[in-house]
């Protein structure tokens, strides 16, 4: 489900300024729907992940960027691996 | 519910600092988003965070220690982690990125096909190489040149031909191939050179070969003749008594070698009689007795 910026800030319990900074850092990449920033459930969960990293795990901003990048790569790998396994099974 | 001190692996007397360190050490290992494929990590992480939730709050910790509350009340509901969305999101989610293995795709058809299907999303893959063929003139191959290649899709490419290039050699122009995907770097242009034949010269390695017609008198008496070379005409001495098939070598008039020197031009002489019958010549040859004794075919017995 896609939500607009105001609803996102409420659901993610995020300040407008923080959101801007995180978008600047490319920690969050909102979708652009007819010129309006739009967010998904994945974005809300990603905010929670960033918060876990920063608050609970004590990781600094530099570290958060590195971790997000690696996590994104892992998900890319997982998806391609899934598809690869599927195509192997289809062929078998 | 397990004892929270046991869950975090700390003493009952542990300071808040020790408790936080213990929690962070476990959480870094167990956070579900840092373990996208490990189903168990979520349960363990919830236990660990519930324990930390209780023990990090001095008030709650004191009440727990006095036996007023049990550990189960401390569990915070948490429905989802980022990984749940990352794996369920439609293919090509904005955050997903393939740079971790984009290099494999260059050499693997299956992977490159999978990646191609996502080429409209956040892929960072190197662009593919493009092959071109470029015919060039013989003398450009010898001396080197800059040739403009007109691309099929429009646009041009300036190709620097190094002196001494060989027929069939492939020049690689870095970054002049297809653009990369996302932030991926562009591929290379591979330009295969074919060298057009020349009306006078042929080439063997770094040597230039040519046939040079000479007159009967130049052959018999010797003389100085002009010989074309790739860098212009030079004067060469034909020794007295030269024959058809005699090869004379012009040093350094060949093609640039890799070591910086040049090959040679090898000039093969071809004796030409006058184009029109010549009465004087006929009269001389008719009376030329020693000429009749010479048999150039004496070794040609089958």
The answer to whether B191 and B170 are in contact (CB under 8 A) is yes
Q: What pLDDT is attached to residue A42?
A: 87
Residue A52: both structure tokens together: 């876990």
- C-alpha B18/C-alpha B178 separation (Å) is 56
Q: What pLDDT is attached to residue B73?
A: 58
Element (H, E) at B82: helix B82-88
Contacts of B210 (CB under 8 A, 6+ apart): B200, B201, B202, B227, B228, B265, B266, B267, B268
Q: What pLDDT is attached to residue A35?
A: 74
The verdict on B53 touching A (C-beta cutoff 8 Å) is no
Nearest to B91 among A45, A77, A79 (CB): A79
Judge residue B274's burial from the number of C-beta atoms within 10 Å of its C-beta, 0-12 exposed, 13-18 middle, 19 or more buried. Answer: exposed
Q: What is the pLDDT of residues A21-79, one digit of tens each?
A: 999 888 998 887 777 888 888 899 999 999 999 988 999 998 999 999 899 888 888 88
Residue A44: both structure tokens together: 């809300």
Q: What pLDDT is attached to residue B89?
A: 58
- C-alpha B250/C-alpha B264 separation (Å) is 6
Q: What pLDDT is attached to residue B264?
A: 95
Contacts of B255 (CB under 8 A, 6+ apart): B142, B163, B164, B203, B205, B206, B207, B208, B230, B262, B263
Residue A5 in 3-state DSSP? helix
Q: Where are the beta strands (DSSP E) in B115-250?
A: 130-136, 145-150, 156-161, 170-173, 189-195, 202-204, 207-215, 223-229, 232-238, 247-250
Residue B272 burial (CB count, 10 A): 13
Closest chain A residue to the Cα of B35, Cα to Cα: A71
Spell B123-157 as b/e; 16+ CB within 10 A means b.
bbbbbbbbebeeebebebbbeebebebeeeeeeeb
Looking at domain B202-291, its CATH class is mainly beta
Residue A76 to residue B96, Cβ atoms within 8 A: yes
**How far apart are the CA of A58 and the nearest CA of chain B, in angstroms?**
8
- The ipTM assigned to this model is 0.79
Q: What pLDDT is attached to residue B117?
A: 66
Q: What is the pLDDT of residues A1-37, one digit of tens each?
A: 788 899 999 988 999 999 999 998 889 988 877 778 8
- C-alpha B8/C-alpha B27 separation (Å) is 10
Q: What pLDDT is attached to residue B262?
A: 92
Which chain A residues are Cβ-neighbours of B80 within 8 angstroms? 41, 45
In chain B the first and final C-alpha atoms are separated, in Å, by 109
Q: What does CATH list as the number for B4-86?
A: 1.10.287.110
Q: Do the domains B4-86 and B130-195 sit in the same CATH topology, yes or no?
A: no
* Residue B146: strand pairing partners: B160
Concatenating the DSSP letter of every residue in B84-145 gives HHHHHSPSS-TT---TTTHHHHHH-HHHHHHHHHTTTSS--BPPPPEEEEEEE-HHHHHH-E
Residue B83 burial (CB count, 10 A): 25
Nearest to A45 among B80, B94, B97 (CB): B80
Q: What pLDDT is attached to residue B182?
A: 67
Spell out the domain ranges in chain B: 4-86, 89-117, 130-195, 202-291
Q: What pLDDT is attached to residue B227?
A: 96
Low-confidence stretches of chain B (pLDDT < 50) are 91-92, 120
The answer to whether B18 and B68 are in contact (CB under 8 A) is no
Spell out the domain ranges in chain A: 3-91
User: A20 to each of A14, A24, A26, A32, B5, how far by Cα in Å?
Assistant: 10, 6, 10, 15, 39
Q: What pLDDT is attached to residue B1?
A: 62
Q: Which of B35, B97, B116 to mutate to test the interface with A (most CBs of A within 10 A)?
A: B97
Domain B130-195 has CATH 2.60.260.20: yes
Mutual angle of helices B109-117 and A61-91, in 10-degree steps: 110
Domain A3-91 has CATH 1.10.1660.10: yes
Residue B144 falls in which region: left (phi positive, over 0), alpha (psi -120 to 50) or beta: left
Which chain A residues are Cβ-neighbours of B115 within 8 angstroms? 80
């Amino acid at each position: 489900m896609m939500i607009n910026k105001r609803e996102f800030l409420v659901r993610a319990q995020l300040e407008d300024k923080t959101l801007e900074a995180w978008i600047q850092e490319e920690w969050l990449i909102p979708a652009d729907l007819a010129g309006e920033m739009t967010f998904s459930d994945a974005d809300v969960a990603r905010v929670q992940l960033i918060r876990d990293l920063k608050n609970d795990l004590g990781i600094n901003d530099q570290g958060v960027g590195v971790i997000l990048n690696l996590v994104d790569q892992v998900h890319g790998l997982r998806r391609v691996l899934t598809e690869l396994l599927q195509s192997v099974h289809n062929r078998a | 519910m397990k004892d929270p001190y046991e869950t975090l692996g700390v003493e009952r007397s542990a300071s808040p600092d020790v408790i936080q360190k213990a929690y962070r050490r476990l959480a870094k290992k167990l956070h579900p988003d840092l373990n996208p494929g490990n189903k168990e990590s979520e349960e363990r992480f919830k236990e660990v965070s519930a324990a930390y939730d209780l023990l990090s709050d001095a008030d709650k910790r004191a009440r727990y220690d006095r036996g007023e509350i049990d550990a189960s009340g401390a569990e915070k509901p948490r429905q989802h982690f980022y990984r749940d969305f990352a794996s369920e999101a439609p293919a090509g989610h904005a955050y997903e990125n393939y740079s971790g293995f984009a290099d494999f795709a260059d050499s693997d058809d299956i992977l490159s096909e999978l990646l191609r299907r996502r080429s409209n999303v956040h892929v960072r893959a190197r662009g593919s190489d493009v092959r071109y063929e470029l015919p060039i003139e013989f003398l450009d191959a010898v001396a080197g040149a800059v040739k403009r290649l007109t691309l099929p899709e429009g646009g041009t490419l300036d190709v620097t031909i190094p002196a001494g290039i060989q027929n069939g050699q492939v020049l690689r122009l870095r970054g002049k191939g297809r653009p990369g995907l996302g932030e991926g770097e562009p591929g290379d242009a591979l330009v295969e050179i074919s060298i057009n034949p020349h009306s006078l010269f042929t080439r063997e390695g770094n040597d230039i070969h040519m046939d040079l017609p000479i007159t009967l008198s130049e052959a018999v008496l010797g003389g100085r003749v002009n010989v074309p070379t790739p860098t212009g005409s030079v004067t060469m001495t034909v020794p007295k008594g030269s024959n058809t098939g005699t090869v004379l070598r012009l040093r350094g008039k060949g093609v640039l070698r890799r070591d910086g020197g040049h090959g040679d031009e090898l000039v093969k002489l071809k004796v030409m009689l006058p184009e029109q019958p010549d009465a004087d010549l006929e009269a001389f040859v008719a009376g030329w007795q020693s000429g009749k004794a010479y048999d150039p075919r004496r070794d040609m017995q089958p």
